[in-house]
Amino acid sequence: MPSPQSIMAAAVLMFATLLQQGASSGCRGGVCSSGTAWLQLHGSFNKTLSTESSFGSCVASTTELGATDEICAQTCSYLEVGQWPCGGNGPCVCSQGTTAAPTVAPTTTMRSTTVAATTTTTTTTTTARTTPSTTTRAGTTVTLSTPSSTLARSIQVLESSNSDGVFMYDTGNGWLPSDIYTWPDMIQAVRLMATSGVGSLKLWLGDTNHLYGLVNVAAFLAQCMQETIQYNACDENNWSDKAVVQEAGGSVYSSASACGQLHQSYQDYSCSPEEDALAGGKMACDVDPNMEMRAFTQAGWYGAPAKLFCAPRSKVPKAPRWDYSAPWCAPEDGYGHVPPFADDVPLDEYFEYVNGGGSCKDYQGIKTGGWTFAGDGCVDGACPNSDAPLFGQPEGREDVEGCCWWGRGVIQTTGTCNFGKLNFFMGKRAADEGRSSIYPQIDFCKNPNSICDPSSPGELKWVAGMFYWLNAVQPYTSGGWDYIAELKKWVDNGMQQGDRSFINGASGIVNRGCHNPPNCGTGELHAATERAQNFDKVLKAMGLM
């Protein structure tokens, strides 16, 4: 399954790409990749970032890193004020634009990007009658309020929906209901995000017409079904195959993919100066070199790489890579079958197995594959990932120390900054500092695995994705196209199945960063038909179509 990066990561990808294409000094400090041809995992996932910018005009202030006026103008159109290289002592200088940004959501990593925005805060008062959601559009504050009666009606419809067969995943031999993403957990997430929300932001469930809110939820779910649910995985997969390594370097399916894939370094995702100021100094989580954990899910295709994991160098001195070609693993009822590890295998036992080049024990149903320290990019017994110079990693990582920040959840949250935002707005840090918190006992910085942990609240993997949605999609407005206005217009016009203008616009925002791709220069909308079919499927389950 693919792995989305944060908006900063995607924007620096564009920056480094342009440097690679147009600067003699080449690509320093970042993601050197091929233009805006955002990669897909097995031809399935492709998401980019918003072209909505908080900048006016941007020019190069120095030739450092090969920056030019053209490169700065194009790169900074994807970023918020203060984000490197368009701020923070970067090589680009930008004048302030007129578009203000909403409260920030944690962004994600499913092999491309979703939209993030710079953090601002607004004090809101929620009465028993309404659930306000304050967003900022083109410099104007707009409050989306959900009356309690509308909220109750929306929840009632969701609870009475015929959800059988909605959240399905592809096994390779047919489709089965997801056991990771369930309808009841989704309802609980909707309830939490529409009532408690995060800071000033709430999931909008309509004004006096509950159909508006249900269509908002359906549009969100249509994207989730395309992006993650069809893979039935919560944790980021190791997708650094031969094609990715040919482009980015490193070794095929390196275990150091946990540190970052495609020129990323997840533990070096820094927050903006504004976000750090809001947090009283630092928003991002601290990196603990002694942290160790193993993901809960992995891809399920034949020979698929094992779960991502992190460990200090004292326990895993050198990063191996996954060899999907050998050895063959006997099936459960076959001669020579080796029982796989339990999901809760003691980590020291698992690390000993990895260090020994173990095979066939990593997950239930494994067909082939094991760990090796040689071949396909490995050097001197270590198999690095790609370099990430923009993140302070000029060479590929040959270990997995501190590499515990891979993507997790329905629209995957990735990197120390984004987990720090979750902790600040809805986790233990919020509670410790006297703010309202949905999960006061969960420290997302101490345990990023909590999002996918089966023992965590089932709705948590949904909540992180909704945080993104109510931040980047609900408040979207660009070129005369306003998400909420278009949603209302589609509903008021009778919710015609043949009219794809609204759902295609919503899909474009998530997948390409604008409502009308390819007009924003980030490529055609990927899987438009599938997303629209998902939308119809959810609305039918709700009894609305």
Q: What is the pLDDT of residues 370-402, one digit of tens each?
A: 999 999 899 999 999 999 998 999 999 999 999
Question: Which pTM was predicted?
Answer: 0.74
Question: Do the beta carbons of residue 532 and residue 503 sit within 8 Å?
Answer: yes
Residue 523 domain-assigned? yes
**Residue listed under structure tokens 């939490």:** 192
Q: With 70 as the cut, is the pLDDT of residue 84 above it?
A: no
Q: What gap in Å lies between CA 258 and CA 20, rounded to an integer? A: 25
Neighbours of 367 (CB within 10 A): 15
Angle at 407 between CA 338 and CA 404, to 5 degrees: 70
Claim to verify: residue 275 and residue 378 sit in the same structural domain: yes
Give the residue with greater pLDDT, 7 vs 336: 336
Residue 418 domain-assigned? no
Q: What gap in Å lies between CA 294 and CA 307, rounded to an integer? A: 7
Q: With 70 as the cut, is the pLDDT of residue 49 above it?
A: no
Structure tokens at 545: 């179509």
Q: With 60 as the cut, is the pLDDT of residue 119 above it?
A: no
Neighbours of 468 (CB within 10 A): 27
Give the residue with greater pLDDT, 131 vs 526: 526
Claim to verify: residue 175 and residue 199 sit in the same structural domain: yes
Q: What is the tally of structural domains in the chain?
A: 2
Given this model, what pLDDT does residue 131 score?
Answer: 41
Claim to verify: residue 182 and residue 249 sit in the same structural domain: no
Q: Which helix (H) or strand (E) holds 211?
A: helix 210-227
Given this model, what pLDDT does residue 88 score?
Answer: 55
Given this model, what pLDDT does residue 203 score?
Answer: 96
pLDDT band at 86 (very low <50, low <70, confident <90, very high): low
Claim to verify: residue 156 and residue 248 sit in the same structural domain: no
In angstroms and rounded to an integer, the radius of gyration of the C-alpha atoms of the chain is 22
Write down which residue in 406, 435, 465 finishes a domain.
406
Claim to verify: residue 183 and residue 272 sit in the same structural domain: no
Q: With 70 as the cut, is the pLDDT of residue 8 above it?
A: no
Claim to verify: residue 264 and residue 221 sit in the same structural domain: no
Q: What gap in Å lies between CA 53 and CA 100, rounded to an integer? A: 9
Structure tokens at 469: 């949605």
Structure tokens at 168: 């399905």
Residue 113 domain-assigned? no
pLDDT band at 127 (very low <50, low <70, confident <90, very high): very low
Give the domain range for residue 241: 236-406
Claim to verify: residue 383 and residue 348 sit in the same structural domain: yes
Claim to verify: residue 339 and residue 222 sit in the same structural domain: no
Claim to verify: residue 209 and residue 259 sit in the same structural domain: no
Residues in the chain: 545
Give tens-digit pLDDT for 227-260. 899 999 999 999 999 999 999 999 999 999 999 9
CA distances from 78 to 84, 90, 141, 262, 391 (A): 11, 15, 22, 19, 18
Residue 222 domain-assigned? yes
Residue 397 domain-assigned? yes
Residue 433 domain-assigned? no
Write down which residue in 406, 423, 448 finishes a domain.
406
The mean predicted confidence, pLDDT, of the chain is 81
Write down which residue in 406, 422, 442 finishes a domain.
406
Claim to verify: residue 400 and residue 501 sit in the same structural domain: no
Of all residues in the chain, what percent are helix, strand and coil, respectively (each to 5)? 30, 15, 55
Residue 296 domain-assigned? yes
Q: With 50 as the cut, is the pLDDT of residue 32 above it?
A: no
Claim to verify: residue 388 and residue 477 sit in the same structural domain: no
Given this model, what pLDDT does residue 411 score?
Answer: 86
Claim to verify: residue 387 and residue 311 sit in the same structural domain: yes
CA distances from 220 to 130, 278, 462 (A): 22, 28, 10
Mean pLDDT of all residues in 257-282: 94
Mean pLDDT of all residues in 67-71: 64
Q: With 70 as the cut, is the pLDDT of residue 76 above it?
A: no
Structure tokens at 492: 């008021």
Residue 286 domain-assigned? yes
Mean pLDDT of all residues in 336-355: 96
